[in-house]
Structure 1
Amino acid sequence: MSASSSRPSYAAVLRLSHARRTFGAALLGRLSYGTVSLAMMLAVNRATGSYVVAGTVMALFGVMSVLLSPARAALVDRYGPRRALGPMAMSYASLLAVLAAVSWRPGAPVALVAGAAVAAGACTPPLGPTMRAVWGEVVRDKALLQRAYGLDGVAEEVLFVSGPLVVGGLLRFAPPAAGVALSAVLVASGTLAFVSSPVVRGVRPTPAVKSARRPRGGRALLQPVVVAGGVGLSLGAVDLLVVAFAEQRHHGDDVVAWVLAALSAGSALGGLLNGAFEWRTNARVRLPLLAAGLGLALAAAGLAPGLLALTVAVACAGLFVAPALTTAYLIADESAPPGFRTQAGAWVNTAVNAGGSAGAATVGLLVTHAPLGLCFALAGTVALLAAAVPAGSRMPTPTTA
């Protein structure tokens, strides 16, 4: 890839040397993250005959995957993508293959199923943070980097929407465990193609210098991490709130899928517009405004009198999601001291995922005891509070692995 482009557009991003090959390989591997959750949940439930076990296994898998993400990203920063991602992906794929094998038929030992899932979660390769770090390494023009991050964010939205559809299509011909096996194939082939790209081969690990441990090394990382966590928490709440809305208004389950699809469509559109727009304001100024926009839109969704109004409000909320996360990743990348670029992105990624889990758990307790409109307002308030984090706040610089 070249360092800059005279035409800062999405097409210009993809015209960079080896960009399509590198980005396409990363997306192939990341598609596995869109397929694995549904496939694993269905496979474990079928193998053990227990929703409780399936839910517990998924929770443990998610905890290991999310909480260890910064540590795995630290290995990428320390040893480089080629040396770190390959072993991680092969370990992760192998453990998913074991899980697929033991859950192929009913009657699998719970301990073996849970052990394979937990171990796989601990090895999840940080393909998203690494791809964003590669963009930051090779694209020096800020306007073009914004387009690259915007394209990355929109593509990620598409992957997480299409992943369950792929699993649904596969279930017409094979048991759920086949979806787990497919996830293993996707992550292994995608990662190997990614690390063999000339662009990734050219990325060398950057030693963490002593100056990175000074306070300014972690300056302003708190803002993107907290805002990302607030966005994730709000989104985690929305999923269950839409389900509750459909039940209260006596709509079918298919309605839930359409409303959440509107959220994803809004996010994809917002990401495209954000990446294409020539911003004159600083990213640290834009980030709280985007988070506030999300919060206000979610609060407005709680006032929706019917399904159409809710769908429109949720789609409007989605317009702020991808731009907020893309901006958070940009700030984290700019704030990262030498040797911490992948880790910085991984902290934002971890905050989003952890926030999503916390939001789902919290609203699950609230929705049966509080009016639905109030629950939507509280979900929006979380994003508003996250927007209030000062841009100059500090957090400890992540430690090396």
Structure 2
Amino acid sequence: MSTPLPRPSYAAVLRAPHARRTFAAALVGRLSYGTVNLALMLSVTRATGSYAVAGSVMALFGATSVLLSPYRAGLVDRHGPRRALLPMALLYAALLCALAAACVHPGTPAAVLAATAACTPPLGPTMRAVWAGLLPDRRMLQRAYSLDGVAEELLFVSGPLLVGVVVGVAPPAAAVVLSALLVAAGTLAFAASPAAGASPAADGAKEDAGRAGRGQTRALLQPVVVTAAVGVAVSAVDLLAVAFAGQRGLGGATVAWVLAALSVGSAVGGLLNGAVAWGSSARARLPFLAAGLGLCLTAAGLAPGVGTLVAAVACAGLFVAPALTTAYLVADESVAPGYRNRAGAWVNAAVNAGSSAGAATVGLLVERLPLPVCFAVSGAVAAVAALVPPGRRGRPGEPTGPLSRRPGRSRPARPSPSRPGDRP
């Protein structure tokens, strides 16, 4: 008689073999992604004396990271974390250290920063692929992805705070070196974990990766478009909060409260989404989450005061982490195991690309349209994304949805195949 699967819970997720060790190592490495942008911005600004140069260099860093993310993840799919992640992480850390040294002197070339971004190890997509290998029950995987998403949200809040502490006692270049140490130490510990050490050839991942073609790419259309729209919405809130405060003569504290409300709402929504035993499939839920985000963001534009705006943005945040988590679930169940890292990387790249496009577009709209209209346009992007048709429902021969494993029956966990803010 087979052993029943454990009752889905966050505690059960962390009790999976090697889960805590692997997840903690990945979080250490991913904390680097929360510190590196601000650290580089401060270092390049000090080195060049120009905010314009620093902004251009950071845009190049972000664009390089987004464009090459699926290709880096493809290397992990083909060669496994130990053979692919370690060289990328060590080279990335070495380039960050070299960049920190170069920033001590003026005239840092932008090409150095682009080369640095090209080597960013895809720890987020790889960790999510490991979760999928550790947890065969889709309900457990839903909780794991929710926990992962909330933890990532906290990393991108705490990362800049850590940089602030470092630059208070040392030059900004020291924060760049810290980012290098974090990614190197975290990746080394992650790759050393048994959960991340499976050989892709052993479980057929290489063969699956070779078969990944246009069918699987079409199946990723819905989650990629929705997450790009979420990126647009989140970046829009950042700029629209600044415009809201500026039009009413309010200080920076107002902006901080609005952005904090978005983060808190996202964290709460992510935890609630993971705790609910949904009766519908992830692919069926995703459009409703995108539409909910769009409606709340549109309503936020009608806020008469700061308190109402904070409440409306918090409600919008309730849909952010669930939409991203659900998109990762859809991506995972839409592709073969050997394509998981690339599927997660495409979702990550969509979030980052949407965020960049949203910031640029909303910046132009704010100067030309009333603020409520700008909120409505940003919300409409998410609402329209909800109309994208779902595509193929899952991997051939496998049931999908959160209840795809029958209660009381189990099968051995698949070995892990060898995902921003992840963001990269």
TM-score range, shorter chain: over 0.9
2:118 maps to 122
**Kept after mapping to 1: 8 A contact 2:212/2:335:** no
Aligned-pair distance for 1:249? 1.1
Question: Following the alignment from structure 1 to structure 2, what is the Cα–Cα distance between the partners of residues 213 and 127?
Answer: 21
The normalised TM-score by structure 1 is 0.94
**Kept after mapping to 1: 8 A contact 2:200/2:338:** no
CA offset digits 1:8-62 (Å, max 9, x no partner)? 1000011112111100000000000000111111110011100011000100000
Question: Following the alignment from structure 2 to structure 1, what is the Cα–Cα distance between the partners of residues 223 and 257?
Answer: 30
Aligned-pair distance for 1:214? 5.8
Question: Following the alignment from structure 1 to structure 2, what is the Cα–Cα distance between the partners of residues 367 and 154?
Answer: 30
Aligned-pair distance for 1:213? 4.5
| 1:132 lines up with 2:128 in the alignment | yes
Mark the runs of 5 or more structure 1 residues left unpaired by the alignment: 395-401
User: Helix, strand or coil for the counterpart of 1:392?
Assistant: coil
Distance 1:301 1:379, change over 3 A: same
Question: Following the alignment from structure 2 to structure 1, what is the Cα–Cα distance between the partners of residues 4 and 360?
Answer: 44
2:177 maps to 181
Question: Following the alignment from structure 2 to structure 1, what is the Cα–Cα distance between the partners of residues 156 and 216?
Answer: 33
Distance 1:21 1:212, change over 3 A: same
1:25 maps to 25
Aligned-pair distance for 1:211? 8.2
Question: Following the alignment from structure 1 to structure 2, what is the Cα–Cα distance between the partners of residues 210 and 146?
Answer: 24
Distance 1:231 1:55, change over 3 A: same
| 1:269 lines up with 2:238 in the alignment | no
User: Helix, strand or coil for the counterpart of 1:250?
Assistant: coil
Question: Following the alignment from structure 1 to structure 2, what is the Cα–Cα distance between the partners of residues 393 and 370?
Answer: 39
CA offset digits 1:199-243 (Å, max 9, x no partner)? 111353511348835654334210001101111111111111111
Question: Following the alignment from structure 2 to structure 1, what is the Cα–Cα distance between the partners of residues 290 and 361?
Answer: 20
1:143 maps to 139
> Relative contact order (alpha carbons < 8 A, sep ≥ 6): 1 or 2 greater?
2
The normalised TM-score by structure 2 is 0.89
Letter in 2 for 1:90: L
Aligned-pair distance for 1:304? 0.5
Distance 1:274 1:177, change over 3 A: same
Question: Following the alignment from structure 1 to structure 2, what is the Cα–Cα distance between the partners of residues 391 and 288?
Answer: 9
Letter in 2 for 1:10: Y
**Kept after mapping to 2: 8 A contact 1:137/1:203:** no
| 1:306 lines up with 2:305 in the alignment | yes
CA offset digits 1:86-114 (Å, max 9, x no partner)? 0000111111111111113xx42132xx2
Aligned-pair distance for 1:69? 0.1
2:412 maps to none
Question: Following the alignment from structure 2 to structure 1, what is the Cα–Cα distance between the partners of residues 199 and 386?
Answer: 34
Question: Following the alignment from structure 2 to structure 1, what is the Cα–Cα distance between the partners of residues 300 and 209?
Answer: 48
Question: Following the alignment from structure 2 to structure 1, what is the Cα–Cα distance between the partners of residues 368 and 190?
Answer: 48
Matching residue within 180, 183, 197 for 1:201: 197
Structure 1: 4+ residue segments shifted above 6 A: none
2:324 maps to 325
1:339 maps to 338
- Percent identical pairs in the alignment equals 66
User: Helix, strand or coil for the counterpart of 2:207?
Assistant: coil
Aligned-pair distance for 1:5? 3.9
**Kept after mapping to 2: 8 A contact 1:100/1:180:** yes
Number of residue pairs aligned between Structure 1 and Structure 2: 388
Matches within 5 A, 1:16-165: 16-104=16-104, 107-111=105-109, 114-165=110-161
Question: Following the alignment from structure 2 to structure 1, what is the Cα–Cα distance between the partners of residues 360 and 116?
Answer: 23
**Kept after mapping to 1: 8 A contact 2:209/2:339:** no
